[in-house]
Structure formats: structure tokens, C-alpha cells
Amino acid sequence: MHLDDLLRRYFASDDLTAISPDALAAGIEHCRVDLGLEKDPGKRFALWALLHLFDAAPDLDVAFKTEAEREAARNFGDLLAGAAEDDEA
């Protein structure tokens, strides 16, 4: 799954500045539903990561079945936090 494909699928645009607040809310809800239905661990992670970027991801224990999946998600979050700190410096 590619980020630009996910953005077009859920928000009808790969330009974040062009997404209206209503389209953002609808896209997040659609993504949450798909996350709940998705069985493939890699696709689930991609959907969770997209939701995480919008501060709309479910808790790790809800989203992931295994500790390895939860640890991967924690690592992703730590990487993003580290990148944000680098941008502030």
C-alpha cells in the first residue's frame, strides 16, 4: 500500500491541503471501518499507520493481535516522534 494511493482512496485526493474537514472526517471513518475488517497484517498496519498520522488510530491492543505487531507500531510512532523533534531543532 502506498501513501498516495491510501490518501486518494480515503480522502479523494493525495493533496492534504485540498481535503475539506468533512472529507477528512468521512475518510477517517471509512479507514477505521476497513481497519476493523482487514485480515492481512501488513495492510492492517498500513491502515493503522495512516490513522496514526491523523491522530485517529485505535489503541495498539485494539488494533493488533500480537506483541510483535504492537512493537512494530510503537517503533513507527517513535520514529515519527523523533522526526518531529529533528524538525523542531
pLDDT band at 89 (very low <50, low <70, confident <90, very high): low
pLDDT band at 9 (very low <50, low <70, confident <90, very high): very high
Domain total for the chain? 1
Read off the pLDDT of each residue in 66-88 and give the average, rounded to a whole number.
88
pLDDT > 80? residue 85: no
Positive or negative: CA dihedral 72, 73, 75, 80: positive
pLDDT > 90? residue 81: no
- How many CA atoms lie less than 13 Å away from 73 in the CB half-sphere? 27
Share of the chain above pLDDT 90, in %: 82
Task: Give 22's contacts (C-beta < 8 A, 6+ positions apart).
Answer: none
| Residue-number span of the structural domain to which 16 is assigned | 3-88
Read off the pLDDT of each residue in 16-44 and give the average, rounded to a whole number.
95
